[in-house]
Structure 1
Amino acid sequence: MAIAQSFSPFLIPPENMVAAPFSPLGSLSVYDSYDETPHVGTRFPNKTTQLSRILEAPNSDELVKDLATLVSHRGVVFFSEQDLDIEKQKELGTRLGELAGKPATSKLHVHPISEQTPELTADVSVISSEGGIARNGYSKSARASAGWHTDITFEPVPSDYAILKLHTIPAVGGDTLWASGYEAYDKLSPAYQKFLEGLTALHDGSGFRKYAKELGTPINDPRGSPENTGSNLQAVHPVIRTHPVTGFKSLFVNRGFTIRIVELHDDESAEVLNYLFRHVAENHDMHVRFRWNKNDIAIWDNRCTFHTATNDYQGLRLGNRVVSIGEKPFFDPSSKSRRAVLGL
């Protein structure tokens, strides 16, 4: 997949004029929106901005492609009170990746432990406070920071985009936080960045294998790509990856699934990973926190973000998630950081 070409986010203005900053909104600029934080998160607050209408618009391909670009730049994008049904959610998940240039063999992900039901197909993950994917391995006594992860990085071909719609929410609590992988890279010292570039890490989803065994159910196979097959649920990916849409460098290890850095001794690997996990969890200046309302939708890019749910609520929290498969992660030594390209 081709990497986005270098671009200048600032035009050279006439004397005494200030150039407008680069904006990834494109055709979506006709809708009201604002950035939640400088580094991650954009919100479309008006409930009249409906994703169902964007899918049906005469210029739908342009809008959806620009939405994919926006999500890739901003990490996560929020939409209020959406009427998008599950079939349209799956259509959007498919088209985002396709219009952004993912391989033809990459489809919607089938989670290892998703169940096929009369209402939902296996390529839809039920996110429920009652257990399953959302609370696999959850413990009340664990630090909340233990929940930070990036979706399905244990797959040889992991996710590009994910879409979550929550239709049942608690009276209070149950927020979700996202962190920017671009900013996580940029906040590291140049020497540490150089040390990490070119290293690879092992990602492991054995927790789902254990869960399937306890339930007496097989691991789903294949899972959205011809390469995502078998019950091993392990893959090796670059520690620093290049994003194929933006061309930016992003940190690509996460506490949920990354278990060791291949090129380092065990003790060295544990020290480095622990530092990077804390780096993601403790730098709140690269986080955005989203408080859900009923039928809100979040769309995020798993190639450049981490996220975690806040397990602080009582009652039912329930929704449906669609995860798209992207491309095999890669690192291009000639790629640049987000701050370097945007002049931040």
Structure 2
Amino acid sequence: MAPSVAELATQVTDTADKVAELKLNAAAKQDNGPSYPFYYPYYDPNEKFPVTQVYEHVDPGLKADPAKPHLLTPEAKLSHLSPYLGTEVTGIQLSQLSEEGLDELALYAAERKVLIFRDQDFKDLGADKQIELTKRYGRIHRHPTSGNVQGYPEFHVVYRDAEHDRLKEILPDTRINRTQWHSDVSYEKQPAGTTFFFVLDQPEVGGDTLFASQVEAYKRLSPEFQKRLEGLRAVHSAHEQAEASRRRGGLVRREPIETEHPLVRRHPVTGEKALYVNQGFTRRIVGFKIEESEYLLKFLYDHIAKGADFQIRARYQPGTVVVWDNRVTVHSASGDFDSVERRHAVRLTPQAEVPIPA
């Protein structure tokens, strides 16, 4: 007697489960652990951070030579990914830049928004040198909920493998996709500026990062609409991030805050105006009623997310370091790789100025 439809469905499900199990077992047998175990995410339940105090920030890009002779040397090779943002750079080592070259890096990151440096030795410098280089761009943020490195709370560790799927915890399967545009820790009084992200382990395919220019997103709006947005302020909140951490039994090292920022901000070096709202942390527009705020924010989020012509996809290779300006961009991880594969990266996040209204 031929099997029923229900029996066939059960057989298909059983076969799929066995295939998944075999993949996991194969990955486990071949897996020797992270390439850089020093940077494995560390969570100390007793670790607490004080309230973040405002400090005076002067952007190094203000001191830079506009011609950038110490950064864009004859050995540097550039490949622009878009007219609006994103440049791949080869032929230079970030670790070998002079002080003038590091200042020029801040300026170039502000101008091109996202810089993708290939074949870097940055991951092998050691924690102290990595921090020393990065803190030139501002006080390094200590994340209140994420994994860091034992003894080095300045590091924000991004880690995912078969046993550790943080992305799924943040954006569960109840979402159609895992894209969530955001600017890092925009709820802080002094949010992130020139940001460093270096890759330790990367899937063979996928696990990239999407970036969008908030400058170009602003420019695409009509002049009248731009004028209406300027002067508005929006609330950015850390509460949802903290509550999500508590729900999964994670840490909250510093009590969450809400901060008002201009909806359109001006970059202190380039003078460019940029939208400063993001789906991850912006909650409401000050002075608007709930429906008004929700309607306008949804329009802006859709505008940013649909702007494929002012977005890029940063692909990672061994030795890749991405330097981007969090003030004038938003980004999203792409959860498009098999969870048995490891993706391991580290972010160092200098805090910049209190956002300047347009």
TM-score (norm 2): 0.75
Q: Does 1:108 align with 2:134?
A: no
2:82 match: 37
> C-alpha deviations, 1:40-68, integer Å up to 9, x for none?
0111134xx211112xxxxx111000000
> Is 1:327 equivalent to 2:327 in the alignment?
no
By how many angstroms is 1:165 displaced?
A: 0.6
Say which SS state the counterpart of residue 70 (structure 2) adopts. Answer: helix
Larger Rg: 2
Return the alpha-carbon distance in structure 2 between the equivalents of residues 232 and 29 of structure 1: 41
Whole-Å separation in 2 of the counterparts to 1:322 and 1:3: 16
Contact 1:115–1:121 (Cα < 8 Å) also in 2: no
* Corresponding position of 1:299: 323
Residue 214 of structure 1 is matched in structure 2 by 247
Contact map agreement 1:77 1:298 (CA 8 A) in 2: yes
Q: How does 1:184-199 map to 2 (within 5 A)?
A: 184-199=217-232
* Distance in 1 (alpha carbons) for counterparts of 2:289 and 2:171: 29
Shift of 1:3: 9.8
Partner of 1:52: 95
Any conservation in 1 of the 2:207–2:336 contact (CA below 8 Å)? yes
Which has more helix, going by share of residues? Answer: 2
Tell me the equivalent position of 2:27: none
Q: Superposition pairs for residues 262-277 of structure 1, below 5 Å?
A: 262-277=286-301
Q: Secondary structure at 1:277's aligned position in 2?
A: helix
Residue deviations 1:220-247 (CA, integer Å, cap 9, x gap): 34xxxxxxxxx13311100000111111
Aligned length: 291
With over 3 angstroms needed to count, the CA separation of the structure-2 counterparts of 1:51 and 1:136, relative to structure 1, is farther
The answer on whether the counterparts of 1:114 and 1:123 sit within 8 Å (CA) in structure 2 is no
- In percent, how many aligned pairs have the same letter? 33
Is 1:308 aligned to residue 332 of structure 2? yes
Counterpart amino acid of 2:331?
H
Deviating beyond 6 angstroms after TM superposition, the runs of 4 or more aligned structure 1 residues are 1-4
1:139 corresponds to which letter in structure 2? P
Tell me: CA distance 1:289–1:155, structure 2 relative to 1, closer, same or farther (3 Å).
Answer: same
Asked if 2 retains the 8 angstrom alpha-carbon contact of 1:108 and 1:323, the reply is yes
Query: C-alpha displacement at 1:181, in angstroms?
Result: 0.9
In the TM superposition, 1:49-198 aligns within 5 A as 49-54=92-97, 60-84=98-122, 85=125, 86-97=127-138, 107-115=139-147, 117-118=149-150, 121-130=152-161, 137-144=170-177, 146-198=179-231
**Contact 1:178/1:307 (CA < 8 Å) preserved in 2?**
yes
Give the gaps of 5 or more residues in structure 2. Answer: 1-56, 61-65
* Worse-matched range after superposition: 133-142 or 30-39: 133-142
What letter corresponds to residue 89 of structure 1 in structure 2? Q
The answer to whether the aligner puts 1:258 opposite 2:282 as a matched pair is: yes
Quote the residue 1:242 is aligned against. Answer: 266
Instruction: Please say if residues 28 and 66 of structure 1, whose CA atoms lie closer than 8 Å, have aligned partners that are also in contact.
Output: yes
Report the CA distance shift for 1:234/1:316 in structure 2 as closer, same or farther (over 3 A).
same
How big is the alpha-carbon RMSD for the aligned residues of Structure 1 and Structure 2? 2.5
Structure 1 regions of 5+ residues with no counterpart?
A: 5-22, 55-59, 98-106, 222-230, 333-344
Q: SS of the counterpart of 2:225?
A: helix
Question: Could you tell me how far apart the structure 2 residues matched to 1:116 and 1:126 are?
Answer: 5
> Closer, same or farther in 2 for the Cα pair 1:200/1:112, shift >3 Å?
same
Q: What one-letter code is carried by the residue in structure 1 that aligns with 2:90?
A: P
Contact kept? 2:137, 2:352, Cα under 8 Å? no
2:70 matched residue in structure 1:
27
What SS class does the counterpart of residue 111 from structure 1 fall into?
Answer: coil
Secondary structure (helix, strand or coil) at the match of 2:72 reads helix
Q: Measure the CA separation in 1 of the matches of 2:130 and 2:277.
A: 28
Report if the CA contact (8 A) 1:145-1:281 is conserved. Answer: no
Take 1:270 and 1:151, find their aligned partners in 2: how far apart are those partners?
A: 21
Aligned CA distance change for structure 1 residues 127 and 121 (closer, same or farther; 3 Å): same
**For residues 114 and 173 of structure 1, what CA distance do their matches in structure 2 show?**
22
